[in-house]
Amino acid sequence: MNDKIKEHLTNNSSPINWESVHSARESFLKYRKNLKEIQVEVAFIENRIVTYNNLTIPMRIYTPEGIGPHPLVVYFHGGGFVLGDLSSVDNLCRYICKYSERIVISVDYRLAPENPYPAALEDALASIQWACNYAGEINAESTNIAIAGDSAGGNLAAQAAILLRDSKEVSINSQWLFYPWLDFKLNSKTHKLYGEGYNLTTEELEWYTSFYLPHHVDRDLPNISPLLQKNLNALPDSIILTAQYDPLQNDGLVYAKALLDAGNSVDYTCCKSLTHSFLNMTGEIDEAREILDQIVAKMKGRNNKATLERY
């Protein structure tokens, strides 16, 4: 394991106070602020509240240098559907914007327990639909839209790609899933290997689930666990990253194989020596910075690959 990450895991103590949702949110944001990330400037940042399908969704829009119109990324933060906000991925979205030369829309979707499933997914779908329909308003290209997310946000991106596949109004060019949470059964081999003692534990995932999923909701439903979806045909190109020391490693690996078996284009990487949330450690972990640079280079390489047919 990376030596810097070992320092973060000293005594296996969690930086999050799990006594209540309120304390967990406060300590999560404090922990994220203390992580060393690369900080960059972009041409313009706008906080906006949009209304679509009778939903009101706060978002932050990052615009790169250049005339445009620019390709677009709609981004969903992680945090177990309970924690996190726009600030927790601000530096990451700035970096993606600057070096991929894409507009980034970071979505402040509703969180549980105040808004359990399917609120976050509804916001994710509406935000992508808004981006496709109003791309011109923010100087973006409606035919070159990527969706992306980390952890729980990766779940939302994966679900959105499936649920919007047959939409006549939405065109998704690619999906970028960073250590995604795709199976709520939480019983894979990597939960047994890495479900305790790292910076994300299976017990913590159960804590998130208890708030996100109402008791009457079956966690094996395909619209909750994308890994259980039976029809994965004709989905956008998929770029999936997992971390070696992560209980969710198996989620991304198995999903990548399922997408390949369904005939999709998949770029899968398991990042050795790293743990969950490594993209928020780019300021002190060289491997994380290198991987982020590879991500934005791949995104930039797709800037001229407009979607000719709508999914």
Q: Which residues are catalytic?
A: 151, 246, 276
The CA-based dihedral angle spanning residues 149, 153, 157, 160, taken in that order and rounded to the nearest 10 degrees: -160
Question: How far is CA 57 from each of CA 105, 153, 269, rounded to the nearest angstrom?
Answer: 11, 15, 32
CA atoms within 13 A on the CB side of 120: 32
Q: Classify the phi-psi angles of 201: left when phi > 0, otherwise alpha if psi is within -120 to 50, otherwise beta.
A: beta
Question: How far is CA 216 from each of CA 41, 182, 191, rounded to the nearest angstrom?
Answer: 45, 20, 24
Task: Outline where the chain has alpha helix (H).
Answer: 3-8, 21-34, 90-100, 119-133, 152-163, 189-194, 202-212, 249-261, 286-301
